[in-house]
Amino acid sequence: MSTTLIILVVLGLVVLFFIIKYNGFVTLKNRATEAWADIDVQLKRRYDLIPNIVNTVKGYATHESAVFEKVTEARSAAMGAKAEEKGAAENMLSGTLKSIIAISEAYPELKANTNFIELQKELSDTENKIQAARRFYNGNVRDFNTGIQMFPGNVIASMFSFTKMDFFQLEADSVEKNPVEVKF
């Protein structure tokens, strides 16, 4: 084989390697973006469910208006939050939802109400789906970040401006990390 042919084959392999690596990064980034969209779908479900559960509990716990205001404010904040603020707003909303469930402990007739029971099941199911979507998103972000940080991927990633993505995580002082207080 001639030297020119060897050089062309090597260059072809290098170009092929770059193409495969680049396409791999695009795939990983798209998976992470899709996973974030899945979180948004579950959050929308939660937002739609919250007014129903609030109204059901309000009928029984009329003097707990401060809790309902907090839930409504947290829902509005979470719905209007920008991408970089979404995690903190969702953590606050999760904490306020726990307070509504805690109120139900003080009202035995509410706990027996079939509408409330069904809404509570739906809310629990939604929270589980949100949790699963967060884990899926974080797994995709981990794979993407690992790919762009390891050699030779880091060279290719920097050439095409692929940047590290942020994990969805709880804030250090998040209400989700604290136990819900139940008062009778």
- What number of CA atoms fall less than 13 Å from residue 94's CA on the CB side? 22
Q: Which residue has the tokens 């290719």?
A: 156
Residue 39 lies in a domain: yes
pTM comes to 0.69
116-158, pLDDT tens digit by residue?
A: 778 778 888 888 999 999 999 999 999 999 999 999 999 999 9
Retrieve residue 66's tokens. 């401060």
Residue 85 lies in a domain: yes
- The range of the structural domain enclosing residue 65 comes to 18-177
**Residue of 77, 75, 67 whose CA lies nearest to 48:** 75
Whole-number mean pLDDT of the chain?
A: 83
Q: Which residue has the tokens 């008062």?
A: 183
Report DSSP state, residue 130: H
Residue 11 lies in a domain: no
| Number of domains composing the chain | 1
Residue 9 lies in a domain: no
Residue 3 lies in a domain: no
29-73, pLDDT tens digit by residue?
A: 999 999 999 988 998 888 888 888 777 777 766 656 777 788 888
153-181, pLDDT tens digit by residue?
A: 999 999 999 999 999 876 655 545 444 44
Residues 6+ apart with CB under 8 A from 157: 25, 147, 148, 149
Residue 139 lies in a domain: yes
CATH of the domain at 96: 1.20.1440.20
Residue 12 lies in a domain: no
The amino acid at residue 67 is V
**Residue of 33, 58, 54 whose CA lies nearest to 162:** 33
Retrieve residue 133's tokens. 């979507």
With 0-12 / 13-18 / 19 or more C-beta atoms within 10 angstroms meaning exposed / middle / buried, residue 7 is exposed
